[in-house]
Amino acid sequence: MVLRIYALIWLLVAASAVLIFFTGNFNELTLTVFGFIFSTLFFMGLLAVLPWWMDKIYAPKYYAGKARKRID
C-alpha cells in the first residue's frame, strides 16, 4: 500500500512539473523547489522500500509440514 501511494506521489509531482514546464513558468526558482521535492521523494522511497525489501529477503523460513507454522 505504501508503495502505491509513493508511486502516486511521484506521478503527481512529475505531472505538475511537466505542466509548469509547458506553461512557461519553469524558472530557476521552480527548478530548485522541484529539486528539493524530488530528492525528498527519493529518500522517502528508500524509507518505504527498504524495510519491505528486507522483509522479503530475510523473512523467517516456514516448516515443510502440513501446518506451515512460522519459526520464530
Q: Is 26 in a helix, a strand, or coil? A: coil
Can you give the pLDDT of all 72 residues of the chain as single tens digits? Answer: 777 888 899 999 999 999 999 999 999 999 999 999 999 999 988 887 777 777 777 766 655 555 555 555
Please give the single-letter amino acid code of residue 20. Answer: I
As beta bridge partners, residue 62 has 70
Please give the single-letter amino acid code of residue 26. Answer: F
Among 10, 2, 68, which Cα is nearest to 42's?
A: 10
51 is written with which cell numbers?
524495510
Give the residue extent of every domain in the chain.
2-57
**Residues 6 or more apart from 53 whose CB is under 8 A from it?**
none
